[in-house]
Structure 1
């Protein structure tokens, strides 16, 4: 990808490094699609423009592979990973960002719904890939709210939060615990130690 807005930041790259090789391209792509949607919300001058763009993505995902619009690198990458990312996850991710377009003020209820949907689309999808029965949406919700706060500091009040929950044990879910830890103001060295040990 050459789009600077889709550049994966170091904490997220660390998380991706712990993803089994087979699923690494799919999780990377899912996170990049999430970033693209955030960029749509951030740069749209009018909510209606953002809604039109999000509807375009929803339609593009639902199209048969050979009928998807050409020239969009993320759609090309989606074709390349085959059916690894379920349509339901993509549609849920669209819904997560659409949730923010219906309100001028992102209160606790709006951000909670956004975070719940993003956690379902990204964290729970990954847990399903690695065969985990653990519900990882609680740690995904915190990650979603804090990354939203970082991207939109003027629109997410400090009072809006998600509860801290225990991180999952075991290496299979380590990428998700790294993502969660990365928004808990953990230092770089602390994050690396967690990645190495799970502690």
Structure 2
């Protein structure tokens, strides 16, 4: 079992517990010496991921993301801004030698969010998933594994796991994104299954939607299996960075049982027994 999450939490830990409980749970399985670094890293990701919803104009979003870009650069230089997330993040960057390129990839991908255009095809969606999620997984692997987190096998496992997790999350978030008038489903898939973007944004559920969701869910499952193959033999110390794969598997199976309906209540609620499933997989050295 992970350590109790009822003890006093840092600002970053409390933020994650409230707004990103899945990543919060996986971070609890990290060694105590690395846990706060993961909390800070995931809290940073949470903040930049919320940029589009936090602003009304794309220009304001770009200004906000540039602030984070500058702040990360200052943190890496050992001169962090006084901020609840940036100070522990700066410590993580220095102590764990985290790669600046992955932070830049995360920020660049969130800048794409501000454009508001859905991905043209599956390849564009996969590129978005890699930029928004795999880059974060690579940073988590570095946090837990140091130089081993930059080994080719770790990079490949992180890429596939990050994409699988992002695709799963985007499917579960279809109703939320529609209410925000956002669309992350590939335009070519929508056209092939005769799903109009306007219907989705008006919270209508055209018959072809489940076919679109199914294709993406099946791709997520393939990516997850590839991640598991690539991750064989990685040090167990890095496993908490890959544990979102266990949760992705749970969510994808619930989505399948719901007939690939992203609006189904079972898809929109967290599955029971998440902690026990994570504990079991962690004990077996799997994700």
Which TM-score tier does this pair reach, normalised by the shorter chain? 0.7 to 0.9
Higher relative contact order (CA 8 A, sep 6+): 1
Instruction: Choose 82-91 or 30-39, whichever is displaced more.
Output: 82-91
Aligned position for 1:140: 162
State how far apart, in whole Å, the 2-side matches of 1:17 and 1:3 are: 10
d(CA) in 1 for partners of 2:90 and 2:34?
Answer: 14
Counterpart-to-counterpart distance in 1, 2:250 and 2:105: 28
Cα distance in 1 between the residues matched to 2:35 and 2:49: 21
Structure 1 residue 36 displacement after superposition? 0.8
TM-score in terms of structure 1 length: 0.80
Q: TM-score, normalised by structure 2?
A: 0.58
The 3 A distance-change label for structure 1 pair 48 and 5 is farther
Distance 1:14 1:4, change over 3 A: closer
Change in CA separation of 1:180 and 1:80 when aligned onto 2, cut-off 3 Å: same
Moved more, 148-157 or 17-26: 148-157
Q: Where in structure 2 are the equivalents of 1:47-126 lying within 5 Å? A: 47-63=58-74, 64-66=77-79, 68-70=80-82, 72-83=83-94, 84=96, 85-107=98-120, 108-126=122-140
Cα distance in structure 2, aligned partners of 1:38 and 1:119: 10
- Pick from 7, 26, 39 the counterpart of residue 17 of structure 2: 7
1:62–1:10 distance in 2 versus 1, CA, 3 Å: closer
Please provide the CA RMSD for this pair: 2.9
Bigger mean CA offset, 5-14 vs 119-128 = 5-14
Which residue does the alignment assign to 1:193? 280
**1:22 aligned onto 2:22:** no
Cα displacement (A) at 1:120: 4.1
- C-alpha distance in structure 2 between counterparts of 1:2 and 1:140, whole Å: 21
Contact kept? 1:65, 1:79, Cα under 8 Å: yes
Please identify which structure carries the higher helix content: 2
Q: Give CA deviations for 1:99-146 in whole Å, capped at 9, x if unaligned.
A: 222343244344322221234422223334411431221111111232
1:99 and 1:110 in contact (8 A); partners too: no
**More displaced stretch, 54-63 vs 94-103:** 94-103
Between the two proteins, the alignment pairs up a number of residues equal to: 197
Worse-superposed segment, 93-102 or 80-89: 80-89
Do residues 127 (structure 1) and 141 (structure 2) align? yes
**Displacement, 1:2?**
7.2
SS at match of 2:85: helix
CA drift at 1:34: 0.9
